[in-house]
Chain A
Amino acid sequence: GENVEQHPSTLSVQEGDSAVIKCTYSDSASNYFPWYKQELGKRPQLIIDIRSNVGEKKDQRIAVTLNKTAKHFSLHITETQPEDSAVYFCAATSGGGADGLTFGKGTHLIIQP
């Protein structure tokens, strides 16, 4: 089955700086890679996703890059703001049949004022 590794487990950055979270996956059949943001006591919310036929995707201050050869993908947040503080999860799936998402263990992002 799929295995997703995520680093770092905790990331503290100054407000206004950039944050980068990295994930690797093991199953070459995986073709969909979403990122979720989870605030304390709330559900995971999709913030951006990328499919295997695309190398990079950007949505305002958030971008995701994918390297299929190396089997890794990264989340980039620029101009960080206090409201970006949360736990971020990467995930992967091959999407076939009733496959669910395999998640990384999460990164606690702390934005220092």
Chain B
Amino acid sequence: DTAVSQTPKYLVTQMGNDKSIKCEQNLGHDTMYWYKQDSKKFLKIMFSYNNKELIINETVPNRFSPKSPDKAHLNLHINSLELGDSAVYFCASSPTGQGGSGGYTFGSGTRLTVV
């Protein structure tokens, strides 16, 4: 069983479109995240979310919005896609309330290409 699964694996779309990436975890974790990995391989957090709060990295454009229907899912919606949004997006999850206990688990990534 895949612990953190995200779909689709590849997404090619035109500028200006709106798209979503889905993420599901079956680890029973309380917190989920979205990370962006750019062409230089730099991994940067975009959002973290648990059932109490959403923390947004201030550098993330408001065209990006996370949606969590329940604790096991955190989807990423992107409006008005731009060329610079092309990257690999990783979903991750971790337990919380344990002060840096680790347990961060990443999904397999979605390679988004905007043309």
A93 CA / B103 CA spacing, docked (Å): 12
Majority DSSP secondary structure for residues of A touching B? loop
Task: Render A80-113 as a binary contact track against B, CB cut-off 8 A, 1 for contact.
Answer: 0000000101000111111111110110000000
Interface size on A, residues (CB 8 A): 28
Among A15-23, A43-51, A63-71, which stretch is in contact with chain B? A43-51
A97 CA / B100 CA spacing, docked (Å): 10
Q: Which of A34, A87, A101 has the most CB of B within 10 A?
A: A101
Q: Which residue of the partner chain B has the closest CB to A38?
A: B41
Q: Note all chain B residues with C-beta closer than 8 A to A102.
A: 45
A31 CA / B102 CA spacing, docked (Å): 10
A106 near B100: Cβ-Cβ < 8 Å: no
B42 near A43: Cβ-Cβ < 8 Å: no
B55 near A103: Cβ-Cβ < 8 Å: no
B104 near A46: Cβ-Cβ < 8 Å: yes
Interface residue? B75 (CB, 8 A): no
B42 near A99: Cβ-Cβ < 8 Å: no
A101 near B45: Cβ-Cβ < 8 Å: yes
A30 CA / B100 CA spacing, docked (Å): 8
A99 CA / B101 CA spacing, docked (Å): 12
B41 near A97: Cβ-Cβ < 8 Å: no
A43 near B41: Cβ-Cβ < 8 Å: no
- Residues of B whose CB lies within 8 Å of any CB of A are 31, 33, 35, 40-45, 48-50, 52-55, 90, 92, 96, 98-102, 104, 106-109
